[in-house]
Structure 1
Amino acid sequence: MIASLAACQSSTSSAVELGRSPAGLDQVPLTISSGNREHRFTVEVARTPGEQQTGLMNRASLSPDRGMIFPFDAPQYASFWMKNTLIPLDMIFVRADGTIANIEANTVPLSLQPVYSNEPVMAVLEIAGGRTLELGIKAGDKVKWSSPE
């Protein structure tokens, strides 16, 4: 699977834009609850193997309130890389219960070095590199997103 990028923003973000992204992917609202704070994002949903392989490749930038979610049909160990990904990402590995299992921060653009989940996960969320530290997001925090109709 290929890693991509996504950026995020804190709970100060305004209205969520839904529908399709310029890449043709569904977009949904996503919230990370961290302590008493909520950080809101609009994320593209990469569902199919082709969408997941392409991810956020070849994108020169992302807004800080954006990201990409890679949902799986069943919990699995996940492995991503940064091939053709031009910007650093924070990869957030999400358990079936929505809690964050682990975070790999500031993954290296264009690297073929695999980035792994520490356990089986139901999804991987990619946001702009450095955002998890900036926002105080950590393992154990809760991730919620909705599926498009």
Structure 2
Amino acid sequence: MKRALFTLLFSALAFTAFGQDTPQTNLPRIKLQAGMFQIDTQVAQTPDQRSIGLMFRSEMPQHEGMLFVFEQPATQCFWMKNTLLPLTAAFVADDGTIVNLADMKPQTTESHCSAKPVRFVLEMHQGWFAKKGLKAGSRLSGVAFKP
């Protein structure tokens, strides 16, 4: 059952992004903090916004990322089809705690999932979290997260 839902989700994501070959750049932005580091994030909160994510982007400033916001906590799984940049996904709990991190290779369909149900996923350039000394258990702060 879980695998069938997973396959259905990927099929829906692929269908939604079909024909879309330009990056989405008009998303709302918020500031997040990771200790002393500030992150300028675009927020993908609708199903269409989340399905496109960072696809088709050839560049992104180092201090920027994308925060995916889901309605309910669930096991969130991401892949990199049509995504040109190597990214790290931080799966984040409601209070801003990083549950787990996953390095993701560009233009692959390999699935990267949260270790437990979460509502937030923050994608940054691959290695950004490691360079800042952030890992599972580290906490992000900002308006998206409950104290």
Q: In the alignment, what sits opposite 1:102? A: 100
Q: In the alignment, what sits opposite 1:136? A: 133
Match of 1:31 among 30, 33, 36: 33
Normalising by the residue count of structure 1, what TM-score does the alignment of the two structures yield? 0.78
Normalising by the residue count of structure 2, what TM-score does the alignment of the two structures yield? 0.79
Determine the C-alpha separation between the residues in 2 that align with 1:54 and 1:68.
Answer: 11
The alignment status of 1:126 with 2:128, answered yes or no, reads no
Q: In the alignment, what sits opposite 2:39? A: 41
What do residues 1-45 of structure 1 show as CA deviations (whole Å, max 9, x unaligned)? 66xxxxxxxxxxxxxxxxxxx711001101113xxxx21110000
2:27 maps to amino acid: L
Determine the C-alpha separation between the residues in 1 that align with 2:119 and 2:93.
Answer: 5
Q: In the alignment, what sits opposite 1:15? A: none
Aligned residue pairs total: 123
Determine the C-alpha separation between the residues in 2 that align with 1:129 and 1:99.
Answer: 19
Which protein has the larger Cα radius of gyration, Structure 1 or Structure 2?
2
Determine the C-alpha separation between the residues in 1 that align with 2:74 and 2:38.
Answer: 26
2:31 counterpart SS class: strand
Determine the C-alpha separation between the residues in 2 that align with 1:122 and 1:53.
Answer: 15
Structure 2 spans left out of the alignment, 5+ residues: 1-9, 14-23
Q: In the alignment, what sits opposite 1:117? A: 114
Identity %: 35
Structure in which a larger fraction of residues adopt strand: 1
Q: Which has the higher contact order (CA 8 A, sep 6+)?
A: 1
How far the C-alpha of 1:145 sits from its partner, in A, is: 2.5
Determine the C-alpha separation between the residues in 1 that align with 2:94 and 2:26.
Answer: 26
Q: In the alignment, what sits opposite 1:16? A: none
1:89 maps to amino acid: L
1:31 maps to amino acid: Q
The alignment status of 1:77 with 2:79, answered yes or no, reads no
1:142 counterpart SS class: coil
Determine the C-alpha separation between the residues in 2 that align with 1:133 and 1:88.
Answer: 14
Which runs of 4 or more aligned residues in structure 1 lie more than 2 Å from their structure 2 counterparts after TM superposition? none
Determine the C-alpha separation between the residues in 2 that align with 1:57 and 1:144.
Answer: 26
RMSD: 1.4
Structure in which a larger fraction of residues adopt helix: 2
How far the C-alpha of 1:96 sits from its partner, in A, is: 1.8
Structure 1 spans left out of the alignment, 5+ residues: 3-21
Q: In the alignment, what sits opposite 1:14? A: none
